[in-house]
A and B are shown apart, each in its own frame.
Chain A
Amino acid sequence: MGNSGELKQNFLKGIIKENPVFVMLLGMCPTLGVTSSAFNGLGMGLATLFVLLMSNIVVSIIKSQIPNKVRIPAFIVIIASFVTIVEMVLEAYIPFLYEQLGIFIPLIVVNCLILGRAEAFASKNNLMASVVDALGMGIGFVIALTALGATREILGSGSIFEFRFVSEDANTLILFILPPGAFVALAYLAIAFNRLTHKVL
């Protein structure tokens, strides 16, 4: 570990080859639940990125101190603490986003992407590599959620980041902002994503 080529590889794998949403299909609950608009997707992605980064850092630092048999509870406590911090900070400084995301903020705790990276990566690798891994995976998650949110918002509400480009009365494909539309949009985005990356790589 340590040379820059490997770090770069490590960073890019989270975005493309092992994209948490489009390739590994991790963290589906927030992915499907909050992405009814591009802004919600972006906000949820960033909140998750922060928690993932912080938990990877802490787990990587104290990994040798955690006895193997209690590692999962230890990880969960660390993750839950950062999620609660995010929740309090959002409520204090970005109340608008806090209201929009609602119950999905506490649910970041059980996002298997975060626990997955703590268990599979941060608990086995050094700090630098864990930071890079969290950034790669986190950014991959942000991109996926924002893309999904944007797709659903464009098709379902006729707007993008709340900027409306059709009139308020226009008939949009309401299906896409309802839960079933999330599955449909995710499926087609995943197909497109995998097709594209397959060709490029």
Chain B
Amino acid sequence: MVKKKESTLINMVIVLFLITLAAGLSLGYVNDITLEPKAKARLAKKMRALNVVLPQFNNNPISEGHLMKMADVKDSVEIYPAAKDGVFVGAAVTGVSERGYSGLVKLMVGFEPDGNIINIAVLEQKETPGLGTKMKGEKFLRQFRGKHPADFDLKVRKDGGEVDALAGATISTRAFSEATQQAYDAYLAFRERNLKSDK
């Protein structure tokens, strides 16, 4: 049997202090060295999503991107305008819903200048594997492409809309639709603001 240090007050204080100190230092160190890769991973993910949802562009949407505050959205909406040879060709807008089957669903929706949906990429979701996660599948996403939210009701069919729900994942589909609708609203607000500033 190992002989242990006596449990005197001073021993306990010193040992716990040293352990927490060592823990704090090593955590700080790891945090420092992973800071850059973490930011890089997030950026790469964003870039991948932008490439999927936007038409060909040769500006840098991320550096030209901006945050917009919407009345009924907790976090600011991110908007990334895309331009080809200086001409505005569309924008990618994030949309969020917290009413997924297990919380947050975050999307990136690409819009043509007139508001048609180009494509949608799922940024974050924790839906049930095999059910809600099918929202990333081609078969589900296909129904949104080329649709204009003004005449394509972004609600699940069960709720009187036009979105075909994923089998067994109506709640996930609802969250997806809600996030898409939110992105569209943000895009409209963004376009309006830009029109004003152009004049």
Quick check: is B4 within 8 A (CB to CB) of the other chain?
Answer: yes
Interface assignment of A19: CB less than 8 Å from any CB of chain B: no
State whether B130 touches A64 (Cβ < 8 A).
no
Instruction: Tell me if A91 and B38 are in contact (CB < 8 A).
Output: yes
The 8 A CB mask of B1-22 against A (1 = contact, 0 = none) is 1111111100110011001100
Q: Is A108 an interface residue (CB 8 A)?
A: no
The listed residue (B12, B27, B168) touching A69 by CB distance below 8 A is: B12
Given A74-B15, A84-B27, A174-B130, A92:B37 Cβ within 8 A: yes
With known contacts A70-B16, A91-B41, A172–B27 Cβ distance under 8 A: no
> A128 at interface (Cβ–Cβ under 8 A)?
no
Residues of A47-100 whose CB lies within 8 A of B: 62-70, 73-74, 77-78, 80-81, 84-85, 88-89, 91-93, 95, 99
A92-B38, A156-B130 as given contacts; A74 in contact with B19, CB under 8 Å: yes
Cβ proximity bits B106-134 to A, threshold 8 Å, 1 near / 0 not: 00000000000000000010101111001
- The verdict on A77 contacting B130 (CB below 8 Å), with A89-B30, A168-B137 known, is no
B34 beta carbon closer than 8 Å to chain A: yes
Cα of A156 to Cα of B167 in the assembled complex, Å:
13
Chain B: CB-nearest residue to A81:
B23
B129 and A177 form a contact (CB under 8 A): yes
The answer for the CA separation of A74 and B168 in the assembled complex, in Å, is 46
Asked whether, in the complex, the Cβ of B7 is within 8 Å of the Cβ of A124, the reply is no
> Does residue A111 face the partner (Cβ distance < 8 Å to B)?
no
Q: Are B130 and A177 in contact (CB under 8 A)?
A: yes
Q: Tell me the nearest residue of chain B to A71, going by C-beta.
A: B4
A91 to chain B, nearest CB (A): 5
Residues of B within 8 A of A77 (CB): 16, 19-20, 23
Whether A88 pairs with B31 at a CB distance below 8 angstroms is: yes
Check if B4 sits within 8 Å of A67, measured CB to CB: yes
Separation in Å of the A55 CB from the closest CB of chain B? 11
- Number of residues in A with C-beta < 8 Å to the partner? 40
Bound-complex Cα distance A23 to B20 (A): 34
Q: Are A174 and B131 in contact (CB under 8 A)?
A: yes
Q: Across the A-B interface, how many residue pairs have beta carbons closer than 8 Å?
A: 97
- B110 nearest CB across to chain A (Å): 21
Which A residues are CB-close (under 8 A) to B7? 67-70
Q: Could you say which interface size class chain B belongs to?
A: 35 or more
Question: Is A146 interfacial (CB-CB < 8 Å)?
Answer: no
- Whether the Cβ atoms of A40 and B27 lie closer than 8 Å is no
A172 and B5 contacting across the interface, CB-CB below 8 Å: no
Task: Name the CB-closest residue of B to A64.
Answer: B2
Contact of A172 among B2, B31, B41, B130 (CB under 8 A): B130
Chain B residues with CB below 8 A from A84, complex form: 27, 30
Residues of B within 8 A of A92 (CB): 34, 37-38, 41
B145 interfacial contact with A, CB 8 Å: no
B139 at the interface (CB under 8 A from A): yes
Closest to A90 in B: B34
**A-B contacts, 13 listed (Cβ < 8 Å):** A36-B130, A37-B130, A40-B129, A67-B11, A74-B15, A81-B26, A84-B27, A92-B34, A92-B37, A93-B37, A123-B2, A169-B167, A172-B130
Given contact pairs A67-B5, A77-B16, enumerate 12 new A-B contacts (beta carbons under 8 Å): A62-B19, A70-B15, A85-B30, A91-B41, A95-B45, A99-B124, A156-B130, A157-B130, A168-B139, A174-B131, A177-B128, A177-B131
> Which are the 10 A-B pairs with shortest beta-carbon distances?
A157-B130, A92-B37, A69-B7, A92-B34, A81-B23, A67-B7, A92-B38, A36-B129, A95-B41, A70-B12
